[in-house]
Structure 1
Amino acid sequence: MATSYDYAPLFRSSVGFDRIFSLLENAHRARTISDWPPYDIVKTGDDSYRISIAVAGFAPDDLEITFQSNLLTVTGKKQEAASDGYLHRGIAGRPFEHRFELADHVRVHAADLNNGLLEIELVREVPEEMKPRKITIQGLTTPTGLDAAPQIEARKAG
């Protein structure tokens, strides 16, 4: 049962978030039926993350990691081995593809294959011009340098 969400009411109170709503719709629509191989996503610091994918039986040459315009794709295709001699084959070696939509300014820092886990380190690096900065408010000053409200002079009522 697929449920569709209407994000139209949110458009009225947000500016520049069109991309987020389309990402939500695409993530819901493009959900793969198979989540094989299993994976974890861990926040390892304020601006760092790790994706760990269980790829037992895959060699580094069987795996491919690509990153293009906020989309990280991990593909695994095992070289065909002769099936002679197997009495039971329980370790899956079927091809897979995982897609991860990354936020702006998140880049792949490193990837490592160790003990059957493919670990991909991600780092969020916000450019200096995109970081928040304090804006000073300039006001009117009097010639003496004191901020004061102007005084109104009038004749004495007599």
Structure 2
Amino acid sequence: MATSLSLAPLFRQSVGFDRFNDLFESSLRSEAPNTYPPHNIEKHGDDQYRIVVAAAGLAQEDLDIQVERGVLTVSGGKRENEKEVTYLHQGIAQRAFRLSFRLADHIEIQGASLTNGLLSIDLLRVIPEEAKPKRITIGGGSKPDLRQVSLQ
């Protein structure tokens, strides 16, 4: 019997991290990754990300998005209906939820939209000039001027 190890949970809790070590450590925490509501974390290009949360039956006023100390938190819950409804079958979950995503350095929220029951949160990695890699040119042809220093 062959067993396989899925690394998918490693990628659910961090956005913008390309370092395996950080993802591995987050998966070893005692808390299990939250899977409700279903959500995707997508990478669009080198510096663009999107989190898509299935928010069926929720309106904009039912959702809350906050960023504090590098943690993006998406929470929501259906408000109480004024009408009494008797469900013969209830397949659409309407319970409260809270998703948290640890953001990497220099990740900024670009915006959020709710379309067709999907909440999309667009993220962009904006690296400041001083943090970007710099190419050092190598001078050619002449040798550096070396002077001998005498100790007296």
Bigger RCO (CA 8 Å, 6+ sep)? 2
SS in 1 for 2:28: helix
Mean Cα deviation higher: 106-115 or 24-33: 24-33
Shift of 1:94: 0.1
Shift of 1:84: 2.9
Amino acid in structure 1 at the alignment position of 2:28: H
1:44 match: 44
Question: 1:2-43 deviations in whole A, cap 9, x for unaligned?
Answer: xxxxxxxxxxxxxxxxxx867643443154364111111111
If the length of structure 1 is used for normalisation, what is the TM-score?
A: 0.68
1:78 match: 78
State how far apart, in whole Å, the 2-side matches of 1:30 and 1:117 are: 29
Shift of 1:114: 0.2
Identity %: 46
State how far apart, in whole Å, the 1-side matches of 2:42 and 2:106 are: 18
In the TM superposition, what are the counterparts of 1:9-158 in structure 2 within 5 Å?
24-29=24-29, 31-32=31-32, 34-81=34-81, 82-136=83-137, 146-147=142-143
Question: 1:29-75 deviations in whole A, cap 9, x for unaligned?
Answer: 15436411111111111110111110100110010011122211100
Listed as ranges, the gaps of 5+ residues in structure 1 are 1-19, 140-144, 151-158
Give the number of aligned pairs.
127
Listed as ranges, the gaps of 5+ residues in structure 2 are 1-19, 147-152
SS in 2 for 1:92: coil
Amino acid in structure 2 at the alignment position of 1:74: V
State how far apart, in whole Å, the 2-side matches of 1:100 and 1:148 are: 52
